[in-house]
Amino acid sequence: MLRGSCLCGGVRYEVAGPLAGALNCHCSMCRKAHGAAFRSRAGVRASDFRWVQGEGLVTWHETSAGTHRGFCRVCGAKLLSRFDFEKKWYGLPLGALDDDPGVRPGMHVFCAYQAPWFEITDNLPQHPEWPPK
């Protein structure tokens, strides 16, 4: 069981299953949404995810067609993304986790849009956008 919570502690969630596809995204929307160099996220099955407390505090903003990013309206912590086009999976920002998820980001994506003030110095694969299928 993985636990996560926002900064003020008003919102808490639990993830009962494994996380998948952890990566760092440098797209401008992720950088803006998080106000950070990049977003680290993983996929979580919707059936494994449960709000334990404070679901009513989560404000959702549709940041592109069908993608909704949720944050705590009290403290602004970024908590979850859900997709109208893929209901079985959520996108989980790793920063709100209270437990070590075990998984580690395995690549950088949307590096073509990387912040000019940030340099990637690890050895993970870097893709200009999504990696080729």
Contact residues: other proteins, CB under 8 A: 5-8, 22, 24, 29, 31-40, 59, 61, 63, 69-71, 73-79, 93-97, 100-101, 103-105, 115-119, 121-123
Q: How far is the CB of 133 from other proteins (least distance, A)?
A: 26
Q: How far is the CB of 55 from other proteins (least distance, A)?
A: 16
Query: 117 or 133, CB closer to other proteins?
Result: 117
Query: 118 or 130, CB closer to other proteins?
Result: 118
Query: Do the Cβ atoms of 3 and 98 come closer than 8 Å?
Result: yes
Report d(CA 124, CA 105) in Å as an integer.
Answer: 8
Q: Which amino acid is located at 111 in the chain?
A: C
Beta pairing class for 39-45 and 86-93: antiparallel
DSSP type of residue 7: S
Q: How far is the CB of 18 from other proteins (least distance, A)?
A: 14
The first and second tokens of residue 41, run together, are: 């996220």
Q: How far is the CB of 4 from other proteins (least distance, A)?
A: 9
The first and second tokens of residue 63, run together, are: 């940041």
